[in-house]
A and B are shown apart, each in its own frame.
Chain A
Amino acid sequence: MGMTIAEKIIARAAGVEEAHAGNIYVVELDHLMSNDGTTHLTIDMYNKLKNKKIYDKSKLVWIMDHNVPCDSPKTAASQKKMRDFAREHGITFHEGDGICHELMIEKYVNPKELIFGADSHTCSYGELGAFGTGVGCTDYLYAMVTGKSWVLAPKTLRFNFTGALNKGVTARDLILTIIGRISANGANYKAMEFAGPGMKNLTMSDRICICNLCVEAGAKTALMEVDDIAKAYLKEHGREAADGFVSDPDAEFEKVYDIDLSEIVPVVAKPHFVDNVSPVEEVGEVAVNEAFLGSCNNGRIEDLRLGASIIKGKKVAEGVRFLVSPASRDIYDQAMSEGIIETFMEAGAIVVNPNCSVCWGSCQGVIGEGEVLISTGTRNFKGRAGDKNSFVYLGSAATVTASAIAGKIVRA
Chain B
Amino acid sequence: MPEAVIDIQRNKFMTDGMEFRMGKVFKYGKDVDTDQIIASQYLLYPTIDEMKVHTFESLDSEFIKNVAPGDYIVADENFGCGSSREQAPAVLKALGIKAVLAKSFARIFYRNSINLGVPVIVCSDIYDHVNTGDEIELNMDEGYVMLNGVKYNCTKVPPYMKEILDQGGLLASLEKI
Contact of A382 among B36, B89, B106, B175 (CB under 8 A): B36
Whether, in the assembled complex, B171 has its beta carbon less than 8 Å from a beta carbon of chain A, the answer is yes
Q: What is the CA–CA distance of A150 and B163 in the complex, to the nearest angstrom?
A: 14
Check if B33 sits within 8 Å of A188, measured CB to CB. Answer: no
Closest approach, in angstroms, between the C-beta of B131 and any C-beta of chain A?
22
Q: Chain B: interface residue count, which band?
A: 35 or more
CA distance A119 to B108 in the complex (A): 10
A383 to B116, CA, bound (A): 26
The reply to whether the CB of A300 lies closer than 8 angstroms to some CB of chain B is no
Q: Say whether A381 faces chain B, with CB atoms less than 8 Å apart.
A: yes
Whether A40 lies near B46 (C-beta < 8 A) is: yes
Is residue A51 contacting chain B, with contact meaning CB distance below 8 A? Answer: yes
Other-chain contact of A218, B48, B106, B171 (Cβ < 8 Å): B106
A138–B44 touching, CB < 8 Å: no
**B135 an interface residue at 8 Å Cβ cutoff?**
no
Q: Is the CB of A273 within 8 A of B46?
A: no
- CA of A188 to CA of B50 in the docked complex: distance in angstroms? 31
Asked if A79 meets B171 with Cβ closer than 8 Å, knowing A138-B116, A188-B78, the reply is: no
In the complex the two chains form, is A361's CB within 8 Å of B174's CB? Answer: no
Is A382 touching B85 in the complex (CB atoms < 8 A)? no
A235 at the interface (CB under 8 A from B): no
A138 touches B115 (CB 8 A): yes
A391 to chain B minimum Cβ distance, whole angstroms, is: 12
CB neighbours of A119 from chain B (8 A): 83-84
Complex CA distance for A75 and B82, rounded to whole angstroms: 22
* Bound-complex Cα distance A216 to B106 (A): 10
| Chain B residues within CB distance 8 Å of chain A | 31, 33, 35-36, 39-41, 43-46, 48, 50, 57-59, 77-78, 81-87, 89-90, 104, 106-108, 111-112, 115-116, 160, 169-171, 174-175, 177
- 20 A–B contacts from the bound complex (CB under 8 Å): A24-B160, A38-B43, A38-B87, A41-B87, A77-B46, A78-B44, A78-B45, A119-B83, A122-B84, A136-B86, A136-B115, A138-B171, A142-B170, A146-B177, A218-B107, A362-B41, A362-B44, A382-B58, A383-B57, A383-B58
- Given A78-B46, A138-B116, A142-B115, 7 more contacts at CB 8 Å? A36-B44, A136-B111, A139-B112, A142-B171, A218-B78, A360-B83, A362-B44
- Which A positions have Cβ atoms within 8 angstroms of B? 24, 36-38, 40-41, 45, 49-51, 66-67, 72, 74-75, 77-79, 118-120, 122, 134-139, 141-142, 145-146, 150, 184-185, 188-189, 215-216, 218, 220, 273, 360-362, 366, 379, 381-384, 388
